[in-house]
């Protein structure tokens, strides 16, 4: 609902923007968000892992963009799903409860046909999960 810039934001701006989106969903649909989708981020931070992690009740996060080399490596190693550890400041208990993150690359340019099928499958799963809240 309200994705902030991750490249150069101030910590308070990240919290305010995330809170605004969560409040909107609560007010409009009377639901508490449990899934995040970063449609077009420019980088990822440890603070973001915390803001959209288990500490705030999130179960999963879908990335809309990752570095192509990172994606290729994770695809080869079958590690497209991973636990995104938040800031070490929050301690090991918070890290142990961090969410399971699923990488979802939305750019169709250069994707092989099986990647497009995988994208559609992930998109259907995401929409199905979101519709459960409405």
| Nearest partner of 35 among 133, 134, 120, judged by Cα | 133
| Residues with catalytic function | 40
d(CA 37, CA 62): 5
Start-end of H helices in the chain: 11-29, 46-51, 68-77, 91-96, 113-131
d(CA 80, CA 115): 12
d(CA 128, CA 132): 6
86 touches 50 (CB < 8 A): yes
């Amino acid at each position: 609902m309200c994705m902030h810039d991750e490249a150069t934001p101030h910590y308070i701006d990240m919290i305010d923007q995330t809170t605004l989106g969560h409040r909107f969903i609560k007010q409009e649909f009377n639901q508490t968000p449990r899934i995040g989708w970063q449609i077009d981020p420019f980088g990822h931070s440890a603070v973001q892992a915390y803001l959209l992690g288990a500490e705030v009740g999130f179960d999963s996060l879908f990335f809309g963009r990752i570095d192509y080399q990172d994606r290729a490596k994770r695809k080869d190693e079958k590690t497209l799903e991973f636990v995104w550890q938040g800031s070490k400041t929050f301690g090991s208990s918070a890290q142990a409860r961090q969410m399971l993150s699923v990488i979802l690359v939305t750019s169709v340019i250069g994707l092989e046909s099986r990647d497009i099928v995988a994208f559609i499958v992930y998109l259907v799963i995401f929409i199905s999960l979101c519709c459960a809240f409405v």
